[in-house]
Amino acid sequence: MAKTSAKQIKKKTKKKAQVLIVEDDTFLSGMYVTKLTMEHFDVELASDGEQAIKYLRQHLPDIILLDILIPKKSGFEVLKEIRKSKKTSNIPVILLTNLGEKQDVRRGLDLGADDYLIKAHFLPSEVITKIKRFVEKK
């Protein structure tokens, strides 16, 4: 009978980090789902702010990738709710948006975003690298 090392057991039982993507652009969200799945993440999607809040009432992802311009509740409103709940307040949130004005960036960071990325300025691979860094810190 072969012995199983502690390292092998840890490797087998390590759970995948879970990412919640809140994005209403189906092309963009699909691309991130594909890329993150290839990087061994579990990925959940919400296409509007209300879906995101509903999901977070029952699940605690390891990180949230949040657009600001989404239907029903803006990303700013979702971020406020995330930060005011004891249950979700420590989940890292990366805002990924097209809003690049200084006041938007300041508002997002003041509301508690861990990072603020402007979609046009970052390649998907760079976004994935940032997600990995936040997950590794946890």
Query: CATH number of the domain that 62 lies in?
Result: 3.40.50.2300
Q: What is the DSSP letter of 14?
A: P
Beta strands in 30-82 (DSSP E): 42-46, 63-66
| Structure confidence by residue, pLDDT tens digits, 7-18 | 444 444 567 899
**CA dihedral in degrees (59, 83, 137, 31; nearest 10)?**
60
In a domain, 82, yes or no: yes
The pTM score is 0.88
CA 113, 29, 61, 59 dihedral sign is positive
Q: What is the DSSP letter of 118?
A: E
Mean pLDDT, residues 24-50 taken together? 95
Query: In terms of residue numbers, what domain contains 22?
Result: 18-137
Number of domains in the chain: 1
| Structure confidence by residue, pLDDT tens digits, 34-43 | 999 999 999 9
